[in-house]
Amino acid sequence: MNKDKVQIFDTTLRDGEQVPGCKLDTAQKLIIASRLDEMGVDIIEAGFPVSSPGDFLSVSEISKIVKNATVCGLTRAVKNDIDVAAQALQYAKRPRIHTGIGTSESHIVHKLNTTKEDIIARAKAAVAHAKTYVEDVEFYAEDAGRTDNAFLAQVCEEVIKSGATVLNIPDTTGYCLPDEYGAKIKYLKENVKGIDNVTISCHCHNDLGMATANSIAGAINGARQIECTINGIGERAGNTALEEVVMVFKQHPYLNLYTDVNSKQLNEMSRLVSDSMGMMVQPNKAIVGANAFAHSSGIHQDGVIKNRATYEIIDPLDVGVNESSIILTARSGRAALAYRAKKVGYELTKVQLDIVYVEFLKFADIKKEVLDEDIHQIVEASKCLQA
Ligand code: KIV
Ligand code: ZN
């Protein structure tokens, strides 16, 4: 069966950069954009040009250097936003304007204080205006996750008629369950005229920890673009994590979906974004966390030393990590100690290992983690090498 490509739309430099304290300057953004381009992402959302002169400059400079990816600028459904975005994108080889408006009851009534008819009129006008500048126009229905499906379908149908090429269905508040979000995409596929001529995009936030699950559910139900950020950074609890999406498709080939991202660059990319923003990655973060390939309990270590796949579903080399690590703690067993001792030059016999292990446990009960230099000290202290 032929596999379908899911386009990766990276919004690290727009939604990701909205994280408090994580502002990047243009030089830093240029480095990240060129690395994203090299890594194989399909679309780079470079910023929100009307929001500040700095963002305008970044989008404009990124447009000049990106070689392969589409460069996208965000706007509200406001004529001036679109004019400014078009200007910022003028040097892009493949420019895209991303425009949209809130469609949920909460947005229509409380945020915009208007009517459904007005929302449709503004959405159509924004897409039609963007279309006067670029062929590739993405429309977002903000808070689509909490928008009634029938109205959402109506909005989508109307913006397709105005020329939208991509329909973004954001779960802006991270509220949906995977089944519900998947069903929403399926509903649109089945009820919107012209939907097969456009790309449906998932843009899921992580407020309930389900952003990746929701995006995958969307793709299984027909979406062919996923909006995500490196390390899952973004507003509040963040966005769908790019590295998770890429590895889900890679590790589950029967889904018959793939991306063009070179997964071997994921670890380095994660560090680049984390260092540039000064935002630490939680150690237990999937794929790119410091502990993602670290084993510390005796039972797991014994299994991994015998065969890595016993406790690892991903080969660390596939994401740019050189090897799995066996961490020595008071929970480690003899197999782990023998393995690490061998790495620093001690080939211990069974009798020697028994002696060193007693010494090791005394040490490990005091220290949280036993390091290479500690192993030398423990082996010497156990006076076992004559045994
Ligand atoms: O979360 C959201 O709805 C957004 C849109 C602006 C695409 O970020
Ligand atoms: Zn968002």
* Domain range list for the chain: 4-277, 294-382
Q: Which of 51, 99, 139, 172 to mutate to test the pocket of ligand 1 (most atoms within 8 A of CB)?
A: 172
Q: How much distance in Å is there from the Cα of 144 to the middle of ligand 2?
A: 11
Amino acid identity, residue 148?
D
> Mean pLDDT, to the nearest integer, of 124-138?
98
What confidence score (pLDDT) does residue 384 get?
A: 74
Atom 6, ligand 1: which residue's CA is nearest?
Answer: 142
pLDDT digit string, tens, across residues 174-210: 999 999 999 999 999 999 999 999 999 999 999 999 9
Task: Give the ligand with the smallest distance to the CA of 142.
Answer: 1
Q: What number does CATH give the domain 4-277? A: 3.20.20.70
Cβ–Cβ < 8 Å for 358, 382: yes
Q: pLDDT tier at 44 (50, 70, 90 boundaries)?
A: very high
Task: Give mean pLDDT, residues 219-234.
Answer: 98
Q: For residues 220 and 198, give the distance between their C-alpha atoms in angstroms, rounded to a whole number.
A: 16
pLDDT higher than 70, residue 387: no
pLDDT tens-place string over residues 230-252: 999 999 999 999 999 999 999 99
Per-residue pLDDT reduced to its tens digit, 88-100: 999 999 999 999 9
Q: If you average pLDDT over residues 247-268, what whole number do you get?
A: 98
% of the chain beyond a pLDDT of 90: 96
Check: CB of residue 37 under 8 Å from CB of residue 254.
Answer: no
Q: How far is CA 249 from CA 123, 159, 258, 266, 297, in A?
A: 33, 30, 6, 14, 29
Between the CA of residue 327 and those of 221, 257, 290, 321, what are the distances in Å? 41, 35, 12, 16
Q: What is the 3-state secondary structure (H, E, C) of 244-290?
A: HHHHHHHHCHHHCEECCCCHHHHHHHHHHHHHHHCCCCCCCCCCCCC
In the predicted model, what is the mean pLDDT of residues 332-336?
A: 96
Residue 386 has pLDDT above 70, yes or no: no
What's the gap in Å between 307 CA and the centre of ligand 2?
41
DSSP 225: E
Specify the pLDDT at position 1.
76
Residue nearest to atom 1 of ligand 1 (CA): 172
